[in-house]
Structure 1
Amino acid sequence: MSLLNHAVVDGVLPRIDSAVAASVEPFTVPDIMRPDGGSKRYGIVHYGVFIPGLPEPFRYCNIMTLLGATGTVIMDNDYLLSDPPSDTATFLCSTAQGQNHHYQAYSIARECRREEGDVLVSFGDNLVITGEFPRYQVKAAYENFELALDIHCTDTVSWFVRNAIYDHFSLLASCSGTLTQNGQSLEIQDHLCTFEYARSASPYALTRRPIPDVWKLPADFFTYQIINLTDDTQLLLTKVCSLGRTVFQGMHVRTRDGEADIHVDDVSFEVLEHQQEDALAPDGKAMRLPVRFRWRVREKGAEVLEIECRIASRWRFGLGRGYTASYAFEGHYQGQAVTGDGYIEYIDCQAR
């Protein structure tokens, strides 16, 4: 099984996926962005809104939803699975402000509305997304937190995966609205963000029982990071590993005027320092999390990006088995000194 998995990771996946080529073309397939994936073969659907670079004390805000259990090592928290697992949905929402955040499991059948009236999808009383491409409205509420946003998507798209059984992409977007947490309010105006969607087949289409870790799809490391470099330029930085081997490592660059680029040939992510104590999930699983890390991106030998980053907020659990936070960075982009804040998602299930 290990040899077969390595063969798939190293040889098959790069040949069947068209994500890199599609990431420099305009977005033309909004019809696929449905809560059922648009076909019975899709058992997993994801909507996300991610806003980096907010003022203190918020720093960032994330809306991370997942309908359906994935059967992957990094994403499924088995202690939350419904019966059957395919009925499981989760919703994560957090900022850097305060002590609390929201991470909860829902029954898709009983608690999630999908394509009812003007509602695209909802999660109990905690989240509702309405609208259709290119404009969406997002309202979220939980203890001491309220959010109401208007999202305007562009046709500038970054594809992470694009093949016959799995589509995952991020649209460059802007948002306006109000965020209130623990009595502090923030007015947001035309702020760069992302609106994201994924649909995928699921192994839970074949079983009603939880899949043991040894048989899960072997993705074991993931980090995804977003930087609003300027008011008009956004960077997406990603690394994904399976069985200890890098499946994808790259940087997407996109701007409000429609420019899009992707760097994948000479990209490196390096953790420089870890927390002294592992983070513990609600089910007791431990994970090593970074304190400092570095990105380097080069194109044909020339430096495009080199930044050193330091975590600047508490980690929030609920990005699958992993965590989200914000960080401060400094370094150089295309020869110019840069500083700022970034948003990070991080999952490390690799043995050590």
Structure 2
Amino acid sequence: MPKLISQINQLQQLGLNAKEGVVYQPSRGFFKIVYQGLILPNLPAPLRYFNYISLVGQPRIPLCYNAHTITTSAIDTATVLVSNSQHSVGHLKTYSIRRQCQFDSEQYKFDKTDLIEWKIPKIHLQRLDLEMGCNLTIHISENISNNSALQWGVSDYWSTLCLCEGEVFYKGQKYQVEGLGRFRHARALHLPFLSLCFYTCQIINLNETTQLAFSQIRNQWNIILCSRLDIQEFGKPVESFTEDVNLHIHRVYPKVRTPNGKEMYLPREFSWQCKKNGKIIFELYAQSRGDYKFGLAAGYVGSFQYQLSWNEQCLQGEGGYCEYIDCRPLRWQEKNQDEKILDKLMLLQPCLYKK
């Protein structure tokens, strides 16, 4: 029980901490885990979305630990996931940090395939691959206001809107990309085991300047540690909602076994609801496109169609972006499905007929 309370307190103390400034540097010293990710939602067909996510080292967290990609040791393993809605077999690349990677203060180089270069506020991403590649330039704000850190300085994280331009290559076709995205960066110590077992995040561009992101984290006991909605307009501070932000899974695909030997259910239809003072202020209903790809740490990425209501307006789109990892024991995953059936049965009203 003390361990559980400590984990909840750590997540509850995540907060805005812009005073420390943005830390952006390769893994060194005690910080062995480094995450970087670009997400571009709401792209035109056939891409629908695009992501470029690198993870240096694998922390001792069920959400992140993927034994399938480890060849030497967890701390020597780097992965780079580059995907869109189209089918691909080589979207996840695995590297030995010691043998195949070169890191310095201005770039990460993963063998001869993946390259991340930065000179803040500009970041360059490149993948040289016959199946799917990219050459993208990211422009981020110099004043990142949503910088946050776990207590004791064991981890820090920031996420910001960005403008992205460049080219995506897929099976001989070239697609021009230009628009609003999200860039995330995090680093952490090689922490002891933390029982973070469920994570999901959905990102949508409402228009050319405004983006929203839903996210939720649970532990192995199915306790919600964090559930939030972030709405941000480019060049302005993020507006966050952390009370009465609820996720509902309505239908799932048949149970899948991941390459690392875990079993989980992926959402087919789901919804988010955010209330303020008991009144619904934001509601999203989504249908997965069925294009899930494994490789986001121990889970999947994909896209979805959606309908949403906000400020008495109804909107719909085709290219919402979804991240989903569920490493909870199956009794929690399957219990949720049984509860939905029971909920429907409870709606049935008995009728008495007098003869």
Q: TM-score scaled by structure 1?
A: 0.87
Matched, 1:345 2:334: no
Identical residues among aligned pairs (%)? 25
- The Cα offsets for residues 252-296 of structure 1, whole Å up to 9 and x where unpaired, read as 111113142100011001111001x22222233322101000000
Task: From the superposition, tell whether residues 4 and 192 of structure 1 become closer, same or farther in structure 2 (CA, over 3 Å).
Answer: same
- Letter of the 1:129 partner, please give it: I
1:18 Cα shift?
4.1
Q: Which of 24, 32, 55 is the matching residue for 1:33?
A: 24
Q: How far 1:195 sits from its partner (Å)? A: 1.3
RMSD: 1.9
2:177 corresponds to which residue? Answer: 188
One-letter amino acid of the counterpart of residue 332, structure 1 = S
* Equivalent residue runs for 1:61-100 within 5 Å: 61-100=50-89
**Could you say which residue in structure 1 is the equivalent of 2:334?**
none
- Post-superposition Cα deviations, 1:67-107, rounded to whole Å, max 9, x if no partner, equal 11201111111232243321111111110123434212211
Structure 2 residue 112 is matched with structure 1 residue 112 = no
Q: Which residue of 1 aligns with 2:194?
A: 217
Change (3 A) 1:121 1:273: same
Q: Which residue matches 2:10?
A: 13
Q: Secondary structure at the match of 1:152?
A: strand
Q: Find the counterpart in structure 2 of residue 286 from structure 1.
A: 263
What does residue 31 of structure 2 align with? 42
Query: Aligned pair in 2 of structure 1 residues 14, 48: CA closer, same or farther (>3 Å)?
Result: closer
Give the match's secondary structure for 1:53.
coil
Aligned mates of 2:20, 2:205 — CA distance in 1: 24
User: CA separation in 2, counterparts of 1:256 and 1:69?
Assistant: 32
Work out whether 1:198 is the aligned partner of 2:186: yes
Q: More displaced, 281-290 or 233-242? A: 281-290
Call closer, same or farther: CA 1:285–1:316 in 2, change over 3 Å: same
Matched position secondary structure for 1:54:
coil
2:204 counterpart residue number: 227
Deviations 1:275-323 (A, max 9, x none): 1x22222233322101000000122233221010000141100011100
d(CA) in 1 for partners of 2:93, 2:110: 9
1:336 maps to 2:323:
no
Shift of 1:345: 0.5
1:129 CA drift (Å): 1.1
- Greater shift, 55-64 or 280-289, is seen at 280-289
Greater mean deviation of Cα atoms: 282-291 or 320-329: 282-291
Match of residue 169, structure 1, among 153, 158, 165: 158
Alignment of 1:146-165 (within 5 A): 146-154=133-141, 155-159=143-147, 161-163=149-151, 164-165=153-154
Q: Secondary structure at the match of 1:43?
A: strand
Aligned pairs for 1:176-325 within 5 A = 176-189=165-178, 191-203=179-191, 216-243=193-220, 244-275=222-253, 277-325=254-302
**C-alpha contact 2:88 2:131 (8 A) present in aligned 1:** no
Answer whether contact 2:229 2:240 (CA < 8 A) is retained: yes
Please state how far the C-alpha of 1:115 moved relative to its aligned partner. 1.5
1:141: how far off? 2.5
Distance 2:123 2:223 in 1: 37
The Cα shift of 1:350 comes to 1.1
Structure 1: distance between partners of 2:277 and 2:144: 25
How many residues are aligned here?
Answer: 326
1:126 is aligned to 113
**Distance in 1 between the 2:10 and 2:252 partners?**
31
Greater Cα radius of gyration, structure 1 or 2: 2
- What CA distance in whole angstroms lies between the structure 2 residues aligned with 1:280 and 1:231? 38
User: 1:36-72: CA deviations, max 9, x gaps?
Assistant: 2xx6221201111111111111011111111112011
- List gaps (5 residues or longer) in structure 2: 332-355
CA contact 2:91–2:132 (8 Å) conserved in 1? no
Seen in structure 2, the aligned counterparts of structure 1 residues 93 and 160 have a Cα distance that, compared at 3 Å, is: farther
The whole-number CA distance in structure 2 between the counterparts of 1:250 and 1:100 is 33
Name the structure 1 match of 2:92.
103
Write the distance in 2 (CA, Å) between the matches of 1:309 and 1:156: 30
Checking the alignment, whether the CA contact within 8 Å between 1:225 and 1:236 is kept in structure 2 is yes
Per the alignment, do residues 184 and 203 of structure 1 end up closer, same or farther by CA in structure 2, a change over 3 Å counting?
same
Aligned counterparts of 1:290 and 1:165: Cα–Cα separation in 2: 32
Q: Is the 8 Å Cα contact of residues 11 and 150 (structure 2) preserved in structure 1?
A: no
Partner Cα distance (1:14, 1:308) in 2: 27
TM-score with structure 2 setting the length: 0.86
